[in-house]
Amino acid sequence: MNTQDFKNAMAYLASAVSVVTTQGPLGRFGLTASAVCSVTDSPPSLLVCINQSSNSHAQFIQNQVLAVNVLPADNEVISNAFASKLSVEERFAMAEWDQLKTGAPILKKALVSFDCTVDHVQPVGSLDIFICKIVAIRQNTPSNALVYFDRRYHHIGSET
């Protein structure tokens, strides 16, 4: 199997779209991620995969805190901004932010935000897996979610 076959197959694995942020001694940074999942509920934790070549990889390592902000369906612009070459200031200027316990930026309009400390970083190939302890959660009013599938954004929601 070659790399392109793998990438083509992974395009059919739907995933929530999140903006992952950090703030600390090296400043405030963020990126768009779809490789996020729960690890365990005792203690509450999740994992986040960040490419080692990301412009903000070192900041996540040094700051040792992060927030996973799960995007609602109407936030494609935010997702694209945090996946772009825009400056840090331009990215964060596009939305309203708050903080919980760690100081990592919390997107005010996120479906849910997980405020985390980084417990462990495991290098695997070209990325690092961040195992994170959740120290605070903020949930907003349920709405449609932004997901990525077949190399495109889609909106999903629960029926009322």
pLDDT of amino acid 33: 95
CA angle centred on 75, ends 69 and 79, rounded to 5°? 65
Q: How far is CA 37 from the centre of its chain?
A: 10
Other Cβ atoms within 10 Å of 2 Cβ, number: 7
The residue ranges of every structural domain in the chain are: 17-151
Question: Which residue ranges of the chain lie beneath pLDDT 50?
Answer: 160
- Residue 140 CB contacts under 8 Å (≥ 6 apart), including other chains: 72, 109, 110, 111, 112
pLDDT of amino acid 156: 93
Q: How many residues does the chain have?
A: 160
Residue identified by tokens 């690890």 is 39
DSSP labels, 91-120: HHTTS-EE--SS---EETT-SEEEEEEEEE
pLDDT of amino acid 160: 43
pLDDT of amino acid 8: 85
Other Cβ atoms within 10 Å of 69 Cβ, number: 31
Scanning the chain, the segments in alpha helix (DSSP H) are 3-10, 57-63, 76-82, 88-92
> What SS3 class is residue 36?
strand
pLDDT in tens, 94-104: 999 999 999 99
Task: Give this prediction's pTM.
Answer: 0.94
What class has domain 17-151?
Answer: mainly beta
